[in-house]
Amino acid sequence: MPVSIKNDVPVQLVLGTQWGDEGKGKIVDILGESADVVARYQGGPNAGHTVKIQDEQYILHLIPSGILRSHTKCVIGNGVVINPQSLMTEIQFLIEKGIDCMDRLFISQNAHLILPYHEKLDKAFETLKGEKSIGTTGRGIGPSYADKVSRIGIRMNDLLDEKLLKEKVDYNVKLKNGFLQHVCHEGGVNGKEILKSLLQFRDQIKERITDTRWMLYKSLQDGKKILLEGAQGTLLDIDLGTYPFVTSSNTTSGGSFPGLGLGFRQLNRVVGVVKAYTTRVGNGPFPTELTGDFGDKIRQVGGEYGATTGRPRRCGWFDAVIGRYAVQVNDLDVLAITKLDVLDALETIQICTGYTYKGKTLETMPTDCDILQKVEPVYESMPGWQQPLNEIKEYGDLPQNTKDYLNRLEELVQKPIGIVSVGPHRSETIFP
Ligand code: IMP
């Protein structure tokens, strides 16, 4: 049975349950209406959160989608990796659209930077991998997180100490240029230029650098409502996803604790965003992928092209094995179903209810990519509704076949639906 999500809890988290691109931006925008603070906890400008307000489309990469609600404060947490140029471009884009964002943006002093050598290394690693490449966004995400874990990363706070910053840049440039030039046979980067642009960035942004953990703690003590915005999706999680075809952060709910400095008991509700079908961008296994004309049709109707890179997304049927896995690893409370309207014209809709491997039914999702590549999806067919959904406002007014499809999704993943999105606009949202 669907449930209604009320904004009655202090901390609520919205995250993707598949391979990203589930439509989290719109759900954050909807729930952001009653949030005081919206915070990102992982990822970087590899994300592309799309929100449509009237005729205007906003694609946000680093700044939380909550910025589009004029009353919210927005936090880029310590778990996020920041490309200075991307951030300034995004701020400029918002200012040009008339959105006052500078005073409402708070950036963690401990967030790591993505520098030109990270992007170069990301692309060089992909080239070296050849056929085994991951299909990254090329934004330098992996190398920046690698530096963080290797304890040689440069953080926002380092911008405030010029001498230390120079030492850190010099050390990294020496290391990275050695690799780029001698292993990859490519040109290196110029440390002086990097330092110069970092100091310019510092002058533009220094007022926004703060202890965001403390700010969130105090906000909670003051009775404020906080919405956490996940990026990418569950199956792109560095630990729990389809490794190595994953991103380099913890995209799952657990990532929000170290990514913001919250304690796990502070999280009151986890909303899992589930696209009514499945997509994936980049390489790696995808059991329910539709490769022929049908996949092309879904891609076309759903506008399934990467919001960050423009790459065509691979499309496939809804996969309940993934849904159940996402429920388990994120401890989801409720589902937000998105892009249901993309299925409007279909006569029959397939749902993957389970996998078999070597003739045996699997109990859960294998995270070994070699096995996942070879599983056979078990499908169940349901009749489509073959009518537009986007003008329907009440759950009860949905066609019976649509309700049957949604009920079946709930049954298969064992969690209730709390939001149904039937179009990109705010008004095209149904709360059961
Ligand atoms: P990276 O995050 O750029 O290192 O890319 C690693 C993998 O995650 C690639 O398959 C990307 O296509 C995928 N990925 C990264 N960010 C997103 C996203 O926001 N949506 C969907 N896929 C993403």
> Which tokens sit at 368?
């070994």
Cα–Cα distance, 309 to 299 (Å, whole number): 15
Range of the domain at 75: 11-107+211-430
- Would you say the CB of residue 20 lies under 6 angstroms from ligand 1? yes
Nearest-atom number in ligand 1 for the CA of 284 is 10
CA–centroid distance, 367 to ligand 1, in Å, is 17
| Same domain? 331 vs 386 | yes
CA–centroid distance, 114 to ligand 1, in Å, is 15
| Same domain? 174 vs 290 | no
Cα of 237 vs its chain's centroid, Å:
10
At 6 the pLDDT is 66
- Would you say the CB of residue 142 lies under 6 angstroms from ligand 1? yes
> Which tokens sit at 96?
């040009």
At 306 the pLDDT is 87
CA–centroid distance, 91 to ligand 1, in Å, is 22
Would you tell me the crossing angle of helices 191-205 and 162-178 to the nearest 10 degrees? Answer: 140
Nearest-atom number in ligand 1 for the CA of 137 is 3
| Same domain? 386 vs 350 | yes
Residues 6+ positions from 111 with CB-CB distance below 8 Å: 76, 77, 78, 79, 80, 81, 82, 155, 156
* Beta-strand pair 348-357/318-319: parallel
Cα–Cα distance, 144 to 150 (Å, whole number): 10
- Would you say the CB of residue 21 lies under 6 angstroms from ligand 1? yes
Nearest-atom number in ligand 1 for the CA of 136 is 5
CATH number at residue 346: 3.40.440.10
| Same domain? 94 vs 121 | no
Cα–Cα distance, 318 to 240 (Å, whole number): 20
Q: So which residues are the catalytic ones?
A: 21, 49
The helix or strand, by DSSP H or E, that contains position 376, with its residue range, turns out to be: strand 376-383
Low-confidence ranges of the chain (pLDDT < 50): none
Q: Residues 219-252: pLDDT tens digits?
A: 999 999 999 999 999 999 999 999 999 999 999 9
Closest CA to 40 of 85, 78, 83: 78
Cα–Cα distance, 377 to 375 (Å, whole number): 6
End position of a domain, from candidates 208, 237, 268: 208
At 310 the pLDDT is 87
Q: Residues 133-162: pLDDT tens digits?
A: 999 999 999 999 999 999 999 999 999 999
Nearest-atom number in ligand 1 for the CA of 16 is 20
Query: Which of 49, 136, 248 has most ligand 1 atoms within 8 Å of CB, for mutation?
Result: 136
- How many distinct structural domains can be found in the chain? 2
- Would you say the CB of residue 121 lies under 6 angstroms from ligand 1? no
